[in-house]
């Protein structure tokens, strides 16, 4: 199963992705966790030691040169459009129990639709992972769906949009839905996070009536504390742990 997580900044994408990946691993599944948000730290939310020392693939200049035959940072020019990537998930991931993590990193964009060696390599890698890897994939993304393309659309089982009770997060969810429909991703679902009560749930259901909801996670100080202390939300006493475990059976 291939799951991609998106939503407005700060809504809880990384928290939810970590709870999802750790629960899946806990249930005995092998998980490939992809950190596709340039600013995110999925690794530390997963509870990986030395999380901050993991080099993003976009910064591996020698690798990008070796695989695309072009220097990172160049735009246009000649480079391989189908670089070899099938060995990368195993070679470049950091492992913890049943979870392998890869950090994609960020590509500096020059104008629209950057066609540069690093973005070509990342796109090829994500396509390979989504289409050909057979473990569970959990991809923590930014407020868009940058690394997904038409080729991967059918293989993404769910695009999960995390929302919080607030107008801006709803606008972002609508925007993500539009981006997704442009590349034919149809299986979108919503998770309501930071829910303080029935009023918050109703607010989201009313304003996102066109979405399928797969669940709600309560507002929880334990999750903030965990983040402050660099502890995985899965290693705290949070009701969200079991709520996410139950969600998995619905996916």
194 near ligand ATP (CB under 6 A): yes
Please state whether 200 falls in left (phi above 0), alpha (psi between -120 and 50) or beta.
Answer: alpha
Binding mask 149-178 toward ligand ATP (x if CB under 6 A, else -) reads ------------------------------
56 near ligand ATP (CB under 6 A): no
Q: How far apart are CA 120 and CA 134, in angstroms?
A: 22
Residues of span 200-219 touching ligand ATP by CB under 6 A: 217, 219
Residue 109 CB neighbour total at 10 angstroms: 12
Q: Which does 224 bind (CB under 5 to 8 A by kind): ligand ATP, Mg ion, none?
A: ligand ATP
Sheet order of strands, 99-103 included: 94-96, 99-103, 31-35, 136-140, 2-7, 158-163, 188-195, 212-218
119 near Mg ion (CB under 5 A): no
SS3 240: helix
Q: How far apart are CA 203 and CA 222, in angstroms?
A: 24
Using the contact rule CB under 6 A, the part of the chain among 37-45, 49-57, 67-75, 87-95 near ligand ATP is 37-45
Give min distance, CB of 39 to ligand ATP, in A: 6
103 near ligand ATP (CB under 6 A): no
- Positions touching ligand ATP (CB under 6 A) are 7, 9-15, 37, 39-40, 193-194, 217, 219-220, 223-224, 227
């Amino acid at each position: 199963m291939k799951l991609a997580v998106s939503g407005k900044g700060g809504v809880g994408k990384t928290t939810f992705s970590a709870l999802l990946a750790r629960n899946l691993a806990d249930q005995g599944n092998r998980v490939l966790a992809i950190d596709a948000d340039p600013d995110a730290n999925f690794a530390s939310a997963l509870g990986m030691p030395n999380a901050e020392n993991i080099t993003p693939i976009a910064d591996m200049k020698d690798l990008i040169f070796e695989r695309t035959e072009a220097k990172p940072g160049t735009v246009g020019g000649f480079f391989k459009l189908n670089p070899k990537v099938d060995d990368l998930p195993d070679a470049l991931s950091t492992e913890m129990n049943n979870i392998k993590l890869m950090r994609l990193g960020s590509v500096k964009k020059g104008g629209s639709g950057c066609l540069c060696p690093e973005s070509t390599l990342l796109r090829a890698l994500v396509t390979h992972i989504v289409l050909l890897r057979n473990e569970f994939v959990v991809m923590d993304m930014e407020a868009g769906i940058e690394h997904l393309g038409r080729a991967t659309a059918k293989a993404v089982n769910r695009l999960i949009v995390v929302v919080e009770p607030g107008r801006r997060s709803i606008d972002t969810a609508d925007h993500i839905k539009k981006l997704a429909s442009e590349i034919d991703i149809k299986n979108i679902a919503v998770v309501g996070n930071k829910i303080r009560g029935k009023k918050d749930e109703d607010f989201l259901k009313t304003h996102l009536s066109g979405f399928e909801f797969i669940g709600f996670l309560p507002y929880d100080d334990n999750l903030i504390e965990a983040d402050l202390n660099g502890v995985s939300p899965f290693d705290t006493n949070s009701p969200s742990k079991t709520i996410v475990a139950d969600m998995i059976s619905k996916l």
